[in-house]
Amino acid sequence: MPEGLANHLSSEQMCSIVAHEVSHLRRRDNLTFAIHMLSQVVFWFYPLTWWLGKRLIAERERACDEAVVASGYDPGVYAESILKVCHFYVQSPLPCTAGVSGAALKDRVEAIMSDHIIRRVPAVTKALLLALAAAGIAAPLAVGMLTARRASAQAVTPSLPGSAASTEAEIARRRYELTS
């Protein structure tokens, strides 16, 4: 958290911000984001990984906001504390850390202030999503591996008459004719 933040927030606002950050820790959001960054390095050419990165950031903030409100903090106080943090600390000084800025801030505050019922995702849905994610990664790799094998098996190297490759091919052909 930014230095001197406690000087600008009330104790209730500070507690709600700390609850938000603790929610990130409990959810292991930094680990998830690091794994996604690794997948972006590997699949840099695949636009879906970049879109997923943006969605991951939005969804992890939404999940933490919901956790703070569900734990009993007043949504108005929490939303006001986020706005105060944005007022004093528009962006994080380090590019590798999360900052509170961007066009989605309005939507985020509106979501906090709306009285939505938080629904837990059933275990079956989580398992299905995990299976789909695994298939989304495994399918392109499997297709690539199968295609690579087929292409190398069909490759024909030209050989000059009298060369070792042509002699070996000729010997193999004659053996086949003799055994048939």
**Tens digits of per-residue pLDDT, 135-152?**
999 988 888 888 875 555
Tokens of 165: 């490759």
- What is the structure's pLDDT at 130? 92
Query: In the chain, what are the domain boundaries?
Result: 5-118, 120-180
Instruction: Identify the band that residue 132 occupies on the pLDDT scale cut at 50, 70 and 90.
Output: very high
Average pLDDT across the chain, whole number: 80
Instruction: Identify the band that residue 128 occupies on the pLDDT scale cut at 50, 70 and 90.
Output: very high
Place of tokens 């984001």: 33
Least confident of 4-13, 100-109, 139-148: 100-109
- What is the structure's pLDDT at 118? 61
* pTM score, whole prediction: 0.57
Residue 98 has pLDDT above 70, yes or no: no
Task: Give the whole-number percent of the chain exceeding pLDDT 70.
Answer: 77
The angle that helices 11-27 and 47-70 make with each other, rounded to 10 degrees, is 130
Residue 88 has pLDDT above 50, yes or no: yes
* 14-37: average pLDDT: 91
How buried is residue 73: exposed, middle or buried, by Cβ count under 10 Å (0-12/13-18/19+)?
A: buried
How buried is residue 22: exposed, middle or buried, by Cβ count under 10 Å (0-12/13-18/19+)?
A: middle
- What is the structure's pLDDT at 157? 54
